[in-house]
């Protein structure tokens, strides 16, 4: 059986919600697994992901036709290595319109590539509804609803909406565990290799800080691995079921 490679797309309808952090974690997860992932940063203004992978990330302007063509060719090309896309909210609609109209899914799967969309909903009803509509449009794709605890709690009234319920009931979900804000600042340092941290934590950090960050990274990488195992082997019970997320509980 041919091993598939993943094309992971991290997205949201809003900015400042953890997309780049998750894209970075996905890339570092693949690096730890021995791959050399192709990394695409679609925010040509801030280029935050590019700063984390200065030698590997490719900046893509979704408004340029040549960049669009190059990106989708790269996402569908046969390769043993994963691909990671940090999709800026400014290109949210255009990217998925292009992906659907180009029949990307069929071409990718023919070449042994499995696309996986990670959607991070914000706290407002519009973001839930945008996620619901995207989920409906991508019904044949692996679609992961991601809970980011840094965004805060959802208001009880907003839990009644159709968009919220569609995401809450979706079977494939992922949880980013919380991390102390002080330590989060260390993780946010774009010069810090997170895969390198797992191999050899910086000596200038205290033992407590190194241990806490490493424990957090292990939890995140295990969660990413669990989700990707479910995508690759839907019937594999050893991967565990997707937990009902705390922010998306009834």
Q: Look at residue 59 in the predicted model and tell me its pLDDT.
A: 97
Domain count, the chain: 1
pLDDT for res 234: 81
The residue ranges of the chain whose pLDDT is under 50 are: 1, 237, 241, 244-245, 250
Predicted local confidence at residue 3, as pLDDT: 76
| Strand partners of residue 38 | 83
The pair phi, psi for residue 128, each rounded to 5°, is -65, -45
Beta strands 113-119 and 142-147 are parallel
Give the Cα separation of 108 and 48 in Å (integer). 27
Asked if 93 contacts 124 with a C-beta cutoff of 8 angstroms, the reply is no
Question: How far, CA to CA in Å, does 54 sit from each of 8, 50, 71, 108, 227?
Answer: 19, 5, 18, 27, 27
Is the residue at 163 inside a domain?
yes
Q: Which residues contact 57 (CB under 8 A, 6 or more apart)?
A: 39, 40, 41, 49, 50
- Residues 6 or more apart from 106 whose CB is under 8 A from it? none
Residue 30 in tokens: 């693949």
* Separation of first and last alpha carbons in the chain: 40
- Is the residue at 249 inside a domain? no
Say if CB 184 and CB 220 are below 8 A apart: no
What is residue 250's predicted lDDT score, i.e. its pLDDT? 43
Q: At what angle do helices 65-76 and 92-101 cross, to 10 degrees?
A: 60
Is residue 245 situated within a structural domain? no
199 found inside a domain: yes
Range of the domain at 65: 5-239
CB atoms within 10 A of CB 111: 13
The DSSP symbol for 239 reads G
CATH number, position 132: 3.40.50.300
What pLDDT is stored for residue 247 in this prediction? 58
Q: Give pLDDT, residue 240.
A: 54
Side-chain-side CA neighbours of residue 84 (13 Å): 26
Closest alpha carbon to 178 in 16, 20, 21: 21
Return all residues near 68 (Cβ < 8 A) that are at least 6 apart: 62, 98
């Amino acid at each position: 059986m041919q091993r598939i490679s993943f094309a992971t797309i991290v997205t949201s309808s809003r900015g400042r919600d953890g997309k780049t952090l998750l894209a970075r974690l996905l890339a570092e997860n693949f690096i730890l697994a021995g791959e050399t992932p192709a990394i695409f940063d679609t925010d040509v203004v801030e280029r935050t992901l590019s700063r984390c992978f200065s030698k590997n990330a490719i900046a893509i302007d979704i408004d340029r036709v040549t960049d669009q063509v190059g990106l989708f060719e790269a996402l569908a090309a046969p390769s043993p290595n994963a691909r990671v896309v940090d999709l800026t909210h400014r290109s949210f609609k255009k990217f998925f319109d292009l992906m659907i109209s180009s029949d990307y899914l069929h071409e990718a799967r023919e070449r042994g590539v499995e696309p996986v969309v990670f959607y991070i909903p914000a706290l407002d009803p519009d973001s839930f509804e945008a996620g619901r509509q995207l989920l409906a449009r991508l019904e044949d794709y692996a679609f992961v609803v991601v809970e980011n605890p840094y965004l805060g709690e959802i208001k009880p009234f907003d839990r009644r909406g159709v968009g919220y319920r569609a995401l809450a009931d979706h079977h494939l979900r992922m949880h980013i565990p919380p991390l102390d804000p002080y330590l989060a600042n260390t993780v946010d340092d774009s010069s810090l290799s997170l895969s390198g941290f797992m191999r050899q934590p910086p000596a200038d950090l205290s033992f407590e800080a190194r241990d806490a960050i490493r424990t957090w990274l292990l939890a995140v990488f295990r969660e990413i691995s669990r989700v990707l195992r479910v995508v690759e082997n839907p019937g594999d019970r050893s991967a565990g079921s997707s937990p009902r997320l705390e922010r998306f509980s009834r």
